[in-house]
Amino acid sequence: MSAPPNKQEQEETLTFPSSHAALIDPYLPTLSPEKENEDRWEKMNGKVYLTLTYAHSLDAALSLSPGVRTALSGRLSKAMTHYLRARHDAILVGVGTAVADDPGLNSRVRLADCSTRQPRPVVLDPRGRWAFGAESKVVRLAAEGKGLGPWVLVREGAVIDEGRRKILERVGGGFMFVPVGTEGRFQWGDVLRVLGREGVRSVMVEGGGEVINSLLAADKNGLVDSVIVTIAPTWLGQGGVVVSPPRVEGPNGGPPQQVRLADVRWCPMGDDVVLCGRIAK
Ligand SMILES: NC(=O)C1=CN([C@@H]2O[C@H](COP(=O)(O)OP(=O)(O)OC[C@H]3O[C@@H](n4cnc5c(N)ncnc54)[C@H](O)[C@@H]3O)[C@@H](O)[C@H]2O)C=CC1
Ligand SMILES: Nc1nc(O)c(N)c(N[C@@H]2O[C@H](COP(=O)(O)O)[C@@H](O)[C@H]2O)n1
C-alpha cells in the first residue's frame, strides 16, 4: 500500500467521467468567464473560495506515518482529485507533505473539452524547512510545462537561500512572506489574503494532518466553503497521521462543540466513497 507510484503511473493522463463530475460540481467554485469571477470576488469582499479535500482510511488516517507516502485513493477517486486540481486556481499543502511525498501537485486529468488546466502549487513553510532542488517533482513538472511553479510561503523576515530563490523563479514560482503569530503559525485569513492579492480566486487545501486540523480549528471564521473527502475501505492502524481537530469546549462547561457537515452527498467511486458537504454554521 505504501510503495511509491512508479514514473509511468505518476505521469499517465487520467479521465474522470462527466456523470461523476456532475455529482461533485455543486461543491466547486464556478467555472465562469473572468469578468463574472471578478464581479463575484468583489461581492464576496475578496474571499478566496476554499475547498478542503483529502483521502483518508476508515480510521481517519492520511498516511501510515508522517514521512510515508501512502496510496489510499483508487483509480476513479484519484482521477476525481486531479479533476479538483484542474478546477481550482491553487493547491495548498504543508511542508510536512512536501518533504514526505515529493508531490507533483499538478493535474493530469483531461477535461471534457480535452484541455488540461493547472493549479498553482502553494507550500506552507514558515521556517524554510523544505530543501527542494531542481529535481524536486513539482519543480521538474513546472520546468517541463506540465504544471506551474510553486509558491513557498515563509514567515516575514525569513532569510532566503539565493540558489533556491533562483530555482523557483526559473519555473515561474517564488517565495512569499506572511506574518506569523506567537506559535510560529500563519493566520489562515492572512494566507488567503496573500493568495488573493496574487490573483488566486479558489484554492484546494490537500493536507497534511497539521494543515487540515489547524484549518478545521480556525473555521469558526467561515473560511472553508466545501469539504470533499475520499474514504478508502481500509484501516491503516495506530501511528498514522490522523485528521482530528482540537476540541473546542462548549459554553458553560457543556459538551465539546462538534464540527459537522451539512448539505451532505455521498458518492460511491469504485471501491471508495467520496463525501461532499459544507461545514454547518
Ligand atoms: N491522503 C491524503 O489525501 C494526504 C496525505 N498526506 C500525508 O500527510 C502527511 C503529512 O502531514 P503532516 O506531517 O501533518 O504535515 P503537513 O503537511 O500538515 O505540514 C505540517 C507543517 O506545515 C506547516 N503548517 C501547518 N499549518 C500551518 C499554519 N497554519 N501556519 C503556518 N504553517 C503551517 C508547519 O510548518 C507544519 O510543521 C504525509 O505523510 C502525507 O503523505 C498529505 C496530504 C494529503
Ligand atoms: N487524493 C489523494 N489520495 C491519496 O491516496 C493520496 N495519497 C493523496 N495524497 C496527496 O497527493 C499528493 C501526491 O500528489 P502527486 O500524485 O505527486 O501529484 C500528496 O503529496 C498528497 O498531498 N491524495
CB of 81 closer than 6 angstroms to any ligand 2 atom: yes
In a domain, 166, yes or no: yes
Count of domains for the chain = 1
pLDDT of 1 reads 45
How do the pLDDT tens digits run along the chain, 281 residues long? 445 566 666 667 899 999 999 999 999 998 766 767 777 777 777 889 999 999 999 999 999 999 899 999 999 999 999 999 999 999 999 999 999 999 999 999 988 787 889 999 999 999 999 999 999 999 999 999 999 999 999 999 999 999 999 999 999 999 999 999 988 999 999 999 999 999 999 999 999 999 999 999 877 778 999 999 999 999 999 999 999 999 888 888 888 888 999 999 999 999 999 999 999 98
CATH number, domain with residue 22: 3.40.430.10
Q: Please report which ligand is nearest the Cα atom of 191.
A: 1
The complex scores an ipTM of 0.99
pLDDT of 7 reads 60
Query: Is the omega angle on the peptide bond into residue 253 within 30 degrees of 0, that is, cis?
Result: no
In a domain, 2, yes or no: no
- Whether 87 and 240 have beta carbons less than 8 Å apart is answered as no
The DSSP-derived string for 45-92 is TSPPEEEEEEEE-TT-EEESSTT-------HHHHHHHHHHHHTSSEEE
In a domain, 173, yes or no: yes
Cα 198 to middle of ligand 1, angstroms: 23
- The pLDDT tens digits of the residues spanning 102-154 come to 999 999 998 878 788 999 999 999 999 999 999 999 999 999 999 999 999 99
Q: Which atom of ligand 2 is nearest to the CA of 80?
A: 1
- Mutation probe of ligand 2 site: the residue of 136, 206, 243 with most atoms within 8 A of C-beta: 206
In a domain, 85, yes or no: yes
Q: Please report which ligand is nearest the Cα atom of 10.
A: 2
In a domain, 267, yes or no: yes
The pTM for the full model equals 0.95
Q: Which atom of ligand 1 is nearest to the CA of 67?
A: 39
In a domain, 223, yes or no: yes
CB of 53 closer than 6 angstroms to any ligand 2 atom: no
CB of 70 closer than 6 angstroms to any ligand 2 atom: yes
CB of 101 closer than 6 angstroms to any ligand 2 atom: yes
In which domain, by residue range, is 196 found?
Answer: 7-279
Q: Whose CA is nearest to atom 20 of ligand 2?
A: 103
138, containing H or E segment: helix 137-143
In a domain, 1, yes or no: no
Cα 44 to middle of ligand 2, angstroms: 30
pLDDT of 248 reads 82
- Whether 11 and 254 have beta carbons less than 8 Å apart is answered as no
Q: Please report which ligand is nearest the Cα atom of 243.
A: 1
> Is 242 buried (19+), middle (13-18) or exposed (0-12) by CB count in 10 A?
middle
